[in-house]
Amino acid sequence: MNMSRLLFLTLLRYVTLFSAFLLSAQTYAQFLPDFTQLVEQSAPAIVNVRIRSTIAGDNSFDDFDGDREELEEFLEFFGDRFPDGFDMGERQSASLGSGFIISEDGYIVTNHHVIDGADEITITLNDQRQYTAEIIGSDPRSDLALIKIEAEGLPTVPFGDVEDVKVGQWVLAIGSPFNLSHSVATGIVSFVGRSLPSQITGQGNYVSFIQTDVAINPGHSGGPLFNLAGEVIGVNSQIYSNSGGSIGLSFAIPVDIAANVVSQLMQSGNVSRGWMGVAIADVTQEQANTYNLPTPKGAFVNDVLPGGPAETAGFRAEDIILSYDGDEIRNSADLPYHVGLSLPGSEVNVELIRNGRLENIRMLVGDLDAASNQQQIQLGVIEPIENSLGLSVTELSETEKQRLGLDHGLRVSEVTGAVAVKAGLQKGDIILSLNGRDLDSVNDLTEINASLPADSPLPLLVERDGQQSFFTIMLDG
């Protein structure tokens, strides 16, 4: 083979490979969505929400929003402390977020936390027109707010169906991150039905979030999350981040909750929620085995509150709720979400396991706000009782003690610290005694915990899977 023929064949090979690469790239591109039309249609209905609020005067810089270098120079001048009698005085603060128009006459949806405490709300439209908005109503439990501007003929966006939202589908957000108005970000749905702890949301478990990897940042709050049809399927509300910026974990309030809340706010300015009156926890593996459940699913009823809808309907401690009004209850956090969506006074069917048998109970839904006015109620997972042992515990019901053949004990609901982890304790363990003293109530543990010696091995009698064993735990000195 001569040199010219070899060069020709080599060149032909590279041309073939390059052509194949271009063809595969073009084929791949055919499967990627084109968002341009969606943005052109939807962007005019997205607004920038800017609020002004008043911060009371004090001698603390916790809420300082001025120039950081000037602050450091100021502190250096005064020896890193305030001069005696110094007070910053009452001052103005500004913050921003996003929102979207849902009616031609100016109703706008945004987050509660965006407009909370606002003295003045300024709305800037896509065409740069500005309006002052009034608050129609705001709901901290769902982090949603409805505001209104005086205008006519405004562009709007439609609501979609949350039942059509699937993990892996493309979604798009439009908002004002860091005040960069009408910025577009895309990604996929990474989880549907994400329940976040109330310590993160500050709202309780009344929202089952849509989780995405869309680059949501400060200023996006209150803006819409779209599907490819240009329908709003969620309201961007939360991000998970150590830095304050996006790390690919963002959470949107599903459109069914938004539609429910907005409708009530538009009609009355406030939101009514259903109430059941039970204290619940996740089902443990031990409980699943006891009641012949294939997996630990559902909401385990620890207690039924006296006089509540659940007691009236005939619920009992140790019932395991599997579905509520036709919706599956996968874990205890699902129940408050579905109950909260129920209208007070409506009748629902609840499917449960009782003594190993499947049963159905009809219940008349109560009113959460009315119940909260009478007594302090939390519908959801029992608040963990934490201590220096590094664990959270709940008390055993009398029925549970009888079933387990115990006359005392505390169940470990969560292992929260290194002390308990080192000792080998696990969620679901039942602690019978600590340092030789029996445990039967949270008060027992609190009292004993206050007098425990540090740097000394302490015996724990624990029941796990029907077997009792001693563990040794040592507090940090």
CB 363 within 8 A of CB 310: yes
Contact criterion met (CB below 8 Å) for 358 and 349: no
Cβ of 12: how many Cβ atoms within 10 Å? 10
DSSP percent split of the chain into helix, strand, coil, nearest 5: 25, 35, 40
β-bridge pairing 391-395 and 385-386 = antiparallel
> Tokens 């027109």 appear where?
129
What SS3 class is residue 271?
Answer: coil
Query: Can you count the helices (H) and strands (E) in the chain?
Result: 13, 28
Catalytically active residues are 113, 143, 221
Residue 218, φ and ψ in degrees, nearest 5: -50, 130
Q: Are 45 and 100 in contact (CB under 8 A)?
A: yes
Residues 6+ apart with CB under 8 A from 12: none
Contact 146, 137 (CB under 8 A): yes
Question: Residue 477 is encoded by which pair of tokens?
Answer: 């000195």
CA-derived radius of gyration, the chain: 28
